[in-house]
């Protein structure tokens, strides 16, 4: 058995490389044609129903505005009901015919079932489920006084997407709907001090990559990986080692100190909705972060060195 395994280790890699180079030109041609067609005939959102979790601020808020401009009906979900009302009012002014506001906590399974049911009962259908709600965390693993205080990161970021997905699937199947999940570049990059946050996003990516196969072709899945976007997270709002969500001024100063470019929330949301309607399976915003994914695969040592340098810079007094 060991001899066979060693033989396969020698034979399979070169065969794979040759196969890739032979099929790549044909695959690139068909992908180019498909790309053009998707640009020419994007999905029309007028009259369709879009549910967005974490819709009271940040990317979720601006996703609501972009969908509203396209004439979609909206269901906005967040714990902050007062802020939801303001977003709903503006979304109506931008073109949404009707906006349903639902105060709910995505980390609680019963509340997720409730807002899916309310959306379908109110509008009679569901076309896009946007799993956007999330919280950040910033703390080295060794500095955690109580590791259980970081359970909310996984409960919100991971289960807060899985729960509504579970209840929405039967409704999305009826109209060949889409699930859009807001992961993060941190899901596949090295992110010191954000290890629990990155792990929650990596879990999302893996889960929805597998789910895509299970629900196709009735439901399409779009995995979004934002980089540094002007939102509450980049303004220092994280779950601290005390287990409380606070604004950490040191994080803001540290991010500015390493000169990380930050994209506006509006531009990010516009790129996401454009890509979703175009039929993209993966969306990275800003697009330049896609290059880091290639580096992660082909030059992991370089990525580790860069991440280590950034970490040392951000933790320097």
Question: What residues act catalytically?
Answer: 197
The contacts of residue 148 (CB under 8 Å, 6+ apart) are none
Asked if residue 81 has a cis previous peptide bond (ω within 30° of 0), the answer is no
CA-nearest of 224, 226, 250, 223 to 237 is: 250
The contacts of residue 286 (CB under 8 Å, 6+ apart) are 227, 261, 263, 268
* Distance of alpha carbon 127 from alpha carbon 73, whole angstroms: 10
Handedness of CA 106, 112, 118, 121 (dihedral sign): positive
* Distance of alpha carbon 152 from alpha carbon 244, whole angstroms: 10
Q: Which two tokens stand for residue 81?
A: 């009901």
How many Å is the maximal CA-CA distance in the chain? Answer: 69
* Distance of alpha carbon 52 from alpha carbon 304, whole angstroms: 35
């Amino acid at each position: 058995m060991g001899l066979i395994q060693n033989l396969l280790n020698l034979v399979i890699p070169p065969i794979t490389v040759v196969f890739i180079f032979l099929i790549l030109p044909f695959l690139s041609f068909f992908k180019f044609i498909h790309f053009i067609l998707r640009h020419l005939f994007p999905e029309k959102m007028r009259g369709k129903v879009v549910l967005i979790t974490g819709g009271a601020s940040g990317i979720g808020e601006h996703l609501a505005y972009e969908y509203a401009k396209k004439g979609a009906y909206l269901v906005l979900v967040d714990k902050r009901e007062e802020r939801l009302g303001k977003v709903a009012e503006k979304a109506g002014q931008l073109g949404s015919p009707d906006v349903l506001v639902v105060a709910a906590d995505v980390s609680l399974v019963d509340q997720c079932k409730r807002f899916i049911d309310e959306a379908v009962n109110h509008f009679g259908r569901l076309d896009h489920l946007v799993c956007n709600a999330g919280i950040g965390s910033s703390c080295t693993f060794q500095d955690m006084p109580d590791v259980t205080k970081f359970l909310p990161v996984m409960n919100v970021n991971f289960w807060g997407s899985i729960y509504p997905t579970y209840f929405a699937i039967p409704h999305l199947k009826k109209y060949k709907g889409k699930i859009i999940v807001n992961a993060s570049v941190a899901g596949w990059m090295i992110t010191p001090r954000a290890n629990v946050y990155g792990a929650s996003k990596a879990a999302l990516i893996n889960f929805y990559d597998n789910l895509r196969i299970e629900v196709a072709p009735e439901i399409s899945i779009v995995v979004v990986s934002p980089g540094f976007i002007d939102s509450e997270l980049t303004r220092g709002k994280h779950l601290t080692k005390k287990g409380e969500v606070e604004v950490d001024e040191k994080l803001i100063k540290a991010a500015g100190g390493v000169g990380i470019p930050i994209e506006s929330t509006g531009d990010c949301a516009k790129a996401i909705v454009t890509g979703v309607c175009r039929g993209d399976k993966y969306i990275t915003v800003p697009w330049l972060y896609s290059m880091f994914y290639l580096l992660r695969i082909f030059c992991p040592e370089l990525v580790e060195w860069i991440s280590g340098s950034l970490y040392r810079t951000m933790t320097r007094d």
